[in-house]
Structure 1
């Protein structure tokens, strides 16, 4: 049994993404509609996800494009306001992800009571956002300094829109990440949000670290969920739950329900 059962309530857990609209300071923030609109759209998506039957939800500033690796204070403040305003509506376990800043993800988690965060905690990358470095030792020490030692850390080891600067096979990355950092989970992704996670890479990671939770991080959909969940311990799902399966749209409750019905049938088998 993994920590997924204790924290989320089930093995083969589905963590749904609640993608927040552009926030103050982001290039595409809709100033005429303001923060009240962002809050209400987050509430709408949260309700659709919960009523559709997902196991947990993760809030992220997915539309803060182009992303920063040193996120500004106004972004974290806006995310804290949103979660604070809708927290009374949250009925399932939740996590947060401040893209792409591990320390600020932990700050937000401690401030809001989130049970987990997903981030790029380790590695150095050539990315769409420039040279992307990390400092996991400092990040984890920051976690303990702010009282966040109970927050589960989901390490994304196949970063989206980025590549390791040194050639390392994925098994080596998985094994060294687990040995050096004791992650609560490893997340395996495709190139971008909504892009299918390569099932062969997923299997290689799980085989390399069989005692660590491994999550399919992108592109899980009706057509491949059984294949992905037969390898992974769970999945992070966002784009699949949206109208027409398009990244830029809002969540469609019926799509969530159909997906989760199939997941529950798979778990019962």
Structure 2
């Protein structure tokens, strides 16, 4: 997949808009207008700061259902995303947590969003929602049914989860791409705000070959120069918020600082000879 088809750059920086609690979630506050207002502020701050794309997700709906959200969540997310599309020109993707890829691709197809993120695409992961099994076979058929070309950005060994068994990281990446047909893969640390291990990230990138690999968590302006050497793009959220705290709104100054550091790291990456490929490892 050529990332420039979506982002106009081969090394995109994707910021995240964490929606405030949506209807039917435990902390729903009763005002969709307030949710839209906060989302507008954050998307505008991200776009003004120079990100190449945005992902909208129902982050504050926790605790999440395992694989199917309420229709009210789908409706609310559709309303918010359409509003953001009228405000910013960067491409907007969708992640319906915890793992409702069917709703995500349905929303994306209707609002013409170019990509979605799916936490568990292949394999099975033990999570705080229970065991989540990937449903790539169902979603790829549903995408075809919809006549859609929405791209699938799929996590490999996703954060806040543990795999059943002890999979080989190379095999997990290859299965996600070759058997699950993901368009891009995402590799994270163990939790929100936790960066991936650099050696594991290098291994994932090596296994992915020509398929784009995104850093999925824990990127900051301090560590992005190292992490970006082993990835094609980055998805970033917590470090862009005021005081670096995930419950706070986006801080435009932190966005600009991160984007500047990431851009420098990409320039450095392309100016240096490639590193020796890492040896194969097993990630527990």
What TM-score do the two structures reach when normalised by structure 1? 0.95
Task: Select 1:47's aligned residue among 44, 47, 51.
Answer: 44
Q: Which runs of 4+ in 1 moved over 4 A?
A: none
Q: Deviations over 1:98-120 (max 9, x none)?
A: 11211111011112111100102
Structure 1: stretches of 5+ with no match in the other structure: none
Equivalent residue runs for 1:83-94 within 5 Å: 83-94=81-92
Write out per-residue CA displacement over residues 171-192 of structure 1, whole angstroms, 9 at most, x where no aligned residue.
1111222221221111001122
- Is 2:61 the counterpart of 1:64? yes
Could you tell me which of 72, 76, 81 is aligned with 2:79? 81
Aligned to 1:38: 35
- Structure 1 residues 167 and 267: CA distance shift in structure 2, 3 A: closer
Following TM superposition, by how much is the alpha carbon of 1:162 offset from its aligned partner in structure 2, in angstroms?
1.2
In 1, Cα distance between equivalents of 2:244 and 2:45 = 15
Contact 2:122 2:175 in 1 (8 A): no
Tell me, what secondary structure is at the counterpart of 2:60?
coil
Q: Please list the CA deviations of residues 56-106 of structure 1 after superposition, one character each: whole Å capped at 9, or x if unmatched.
A: 111111111011122111111110011123321021111111112111110
Aligned residues: 265
The root-mean-square deviation of aligned C-alpha atoms, in Å, is 1.2
* TM-score, scaled to structure 2: 0.90
CA contact (8 A) 2:170 2:203 kept: yes
Q: Which residue of 1 aligns with 2:142?
A: 142
SS at match of 2:59: coil
Aligned equivalents of 1:259 and 1:135: distance in 2? 34
Checking the alignment, whether the CA contact within 8 Å between 1:116 and 1:152 is kept in structure 2 is yes
Question: Which of 224-233 and 196-205 deviates more?
Answer: 196-205
Q: Distance in 1 between matches of 2:121 and 2:80?
A: 25
Measure how far apart 1:11 and its partner are: 1.8
Equivalent pair of 1:158/1:190 in contact (CA under 8 Å) = no
Whole-Å separation in 2 of the counterparts to 1:87 and 1:230: 31
Alpha-carbon deviation of 1:264? Answer: 2.1
Q: Aligned runs of 1:1-269 on 2, under 5 Å?
A: 3-31=2-30, 34-69=31-66, 70-99=68-97, 100-119=99-118, 120-148=120-148, 150-269=149-268
Structure 2 Cα separation of the partners of residues 197 and 246 of structure 1: 19
CA deviation after TM superposition for structure 1 residue 209, in Å: 2.1
Structure 2 contact 122–136 (Cα < 8 Å) conserved = yes
Does the Cα contact within 8 Å between 1:80 and 1:108 map onto a contact in 2?
yes
Give the equivalent residue in structure 1 for 2:274: none
Partners of 2:109 and 2:232 in 1: CA distance:
25
